[in-house]
Structure 1
Amino acid sequence: MFARTRAELVAIDKETGQERWRKQRDGWGYVSYMEGRVYDVSRDTVIALDGDGAEQWSISIEKFHHARLIEREGWVYVLARNRFACVHADSGEILVETALDDDDMSHYFPVTDGHRIFAGDSKLFGYEVVDNRFEKRWESQMAPHRLYGFMATDNGLLFRAGFNTLVSDAARGRLSIHDVEDGSLRAEQTFETVPRSPAVVDGIVFVSTSTVSSDNIGDDGKLVALSSEGELLWEYTPEASLQPPVVANDTLYTGPFANREAPLIAFDAISGEELWREDPDTLQGSVELAIAGDMLYVADGTRVRALRT
């Protein structure tokens, strides 16, 4: 597994927790692992490394503030705001770098269903990649609901979490469900707190919500399971905000966001039955969760732990 902080990029053996290698870093960044490569993305560069930490190539992305990556068929697409670049995954050669012809200036957090690419903030765009260029197939107006976190796709549907910029209390958040063919709205669910980064498994969408305003961040939230038609299946309501869930083998995991009140908790994803929990006083505040195989990785504060699922 790979972890990125402002100071370091670290590779850790996922079974033993032993450090494999470590690289010094200076400033904001995140790490992404795709198709056998480690991509270290900062404000200024994308660096591609092999699994042993050897640098394969790097490119400057000074025009791509908060860039996100998608890899498809040997190409890496770097997308941010209203620009994109198409980069050869093996060599780092930039084949295409261009502006997207849209008036929505934010293309944060792009996702793909394997054929199309979806992005946008106050608008939602559907693209196809033709000759390594983005061709827009449709767009939908999302204002006043802005994107919050990553979208998810499943079985011809796109799931998007957002918040209402015109509302400060009730119905602050919204999960919307769209058809990938034309972006049309199929269903929606509103929340008093803000959802982000839904997870979708076998037609069920799981989303956690949080308070995100500066004066009471982390104070409230809930976890819900919805059908692909937006029907509520089950919910869990703690007295604190929750991180986006991760799901594997019919088990869902979530934990605290910006608080020391919510537990690290596991549910049966289908029924909503609680399977186990770890009390907040054993945690160091907010957690970040990742799952691979039969291991759940939990990062909180200055430590990373591996739990067998």
Structure 2
Amino acid sequence: MPSRRTFLAALGATTLAGCTATPNDPPKSGVEELPDPDGHAYGANGDWSSFGCNAGNTRAVGDGKAPTDGVTERWRVEVPQLRQHEPIAAGGRVYYLSDGLRALDAADGSEAWRAPEIRTLPLVRGETLYAGTTDGVVALDAPTGEPRWKRTLGEDVSVRAPATYAGKRLYVPADETLFALDPETGETDWSRQLFGRLLGSPAVHFGHYVAVASEAGKLFLVGPEGVAAGEWNFPAVPRSPPTADTDAVYVNCRDGRTYGILLENVPRRDVDWATETGWADGGLAVEDHLYANGTDDLRALDTDTGEERWRFDTGDWRHTAPALGRDTLFVGGDALYALDPTPKSVPLADGPAVRFERSFHGRVGPGPTLDDGVLYVVAQTGESAYHLLALE
């Protein structure tokens, strides 16, 4: 398996379309070809098609499209105050959990359809959408919301958001069992009993392992055929699904620490490093560094050691998470911020350069997510008003 640095060096020509911009200067927008999810390390296709954007939950989009000089509002849709799920954007539609799943037209925010039975963030693969219901998982036609198949996993089962790598299998956590389903029919390829209620949105490590965390304070690695590959214990319960880079898996826990597990010597049970970051409920982002937006600050960490490289004050709002695109890091908090993720002087005591900042009436997040050069984020827009915004 190639190392992360070797892989990213080879990937750079595709991601930046041959651009030789410095870290402080975002590359020209657009690439000649989008990544192929059947061969891409993160199962990426340029869409924000699941929690964490792609199969690795890296929150990084590689299509070279992102607003780096400022944003204008394309549309807004009112949403309830207490929703803590960010939107998913893929295939010209935006999906948002609010009294079930709402599918919005990415062009103008108009509602295309609604599925009240959906209880999890969706996974979008082509023209099919997969999501958990009260007792199982359903596959819907993405343009219309019509069911293609439904699979019951049991009564009163806590089904969490599914994941996939290149559409080969559908990995569905349900209570303490990880199911691998045929994405065309919903039939079970295999299932594996683990320990503790599983978190949704497993991360797939380079197509080789499924990484899934549980409320028992554990991380499991399971091979694509259901064979156990590794198990790790944490001193606290994970707060969000894991993030899988090409060399490691990262988990944020309720003790306010983010943990790094290097996978060079799997199987083993050692946690390689732990760093104070605060609660990162929305997930972690990774590209050149690992980025965690905790309860106090956004931090950039060294992926090998967990050493803090820089931090940036976003306020005390933890219901946001970093999103990466076009060599720019976007994050919410007291405002919507666009930052230089890899400043030339590292570590940098004063934090990264701000490319732009957009303020609203109140806090920004859940989100942002990024698709086709448009940022989607929930923000407080008035004293008691909250909107899902499309910003370009």
Return the TM-score normalized by structure 2: 0.64
Match of 2:387 among 293, 303, 309: 303
More strand by share: 1
Question: Which sections of structure 2, spanning at least 5 residues, go unmatched?
Answer: 1-92, 344-351, 380-384
Q: CA deviation at 1:18?
A: 4.5
Q: Does 1:118 align with 2:203?
A: no
| CA deviations over 1:55-101 (Å, ceiling 9, x no partner) | 211112345404231224532121133213232211223344x451x
Aligned residues of 1:43 and 1:62 also touching (Cα < 8 A): no
Deviates more, 1:233-242 or 1:288-297: 233-242
Q: CA RMSD in A?
A: 2.3
Q: CA deviation at 1:275?
A: 1.4
Aligned residue in 1 for 2:332: 255
Q: Does 1:149 align with 2:240?
A: yes
Deviates more, 1:83-92 or 1:72-81: 72-81
Q: CA deviation at 1:286?
A: 4.0
Q: CA deviation at 1:12?
A: 2.7
Q: How many residues align?
A: 274
Q: CA deviation at 1:5?
A: 2.9
Amino acid of the residue matched to residue 231 of structure 2? E
Match of 1:279 among 321, 343, 359: 359
Q: C-alpha distance in 1, partners of 2:341/2:310? A: 9
Match of 2:323 among 242, 246, 250: 246
Aligned residues of 1:198 and 1:206 also touching (Cα < 8 A): yes
| CA deviations over 1:90-137 (Å, ceiling 9, x no partner) | 1223344x451x4x312213211121011233122111022xxx2112
Q: Does 1:179 align with 2:246?
A: no
Aligned residues of 2:122 and 2:161 also touching (Cα < 8 A): no
Aligned residues of 1:4 and 1:29 also touching (Cα < 8 A): no
Query: In the superposition, relative to structure 1, how do residues 4 and 238 fare at CA in structure 2: closer, same or farther (>3 Å)?
Result: closer
Query: In the superposition, relative to structure 1, how do residues 303 and 62 fare at CA in structure 2: closer, same or farther (>3 Å)?
Result: farther
Amino acid of the residue matched to residue 252 of structure 1? L
| CA deviations over 1:137-193 (Å, ceiling 9, x no partner) | 221221x222111211112111111122xxxxxxxx1111102323532222124x3
Aligned residues of 1:287 and 1:298 also touching (Cα < 8 A): yes
Aligned residues of 2:120 and 2:160 also touching (Cα < 8 A): no
Query: In the superposition, relative to structure 1, how do residues 277 and 61 fare at CA in structure 2: closer, same or farther (>3 Å)?
Result: farther
The 4+ residue runs of structure 1 with deviation greater than 3 A are 26-29, 61-64, 283-287
Structure of higher RCO (CA pairs closer than 8 Å, 6+ residues apart): 2
Return the TM-score normalized by structure 1: 0.80
Aligned residue in 1 for 2:132: 41
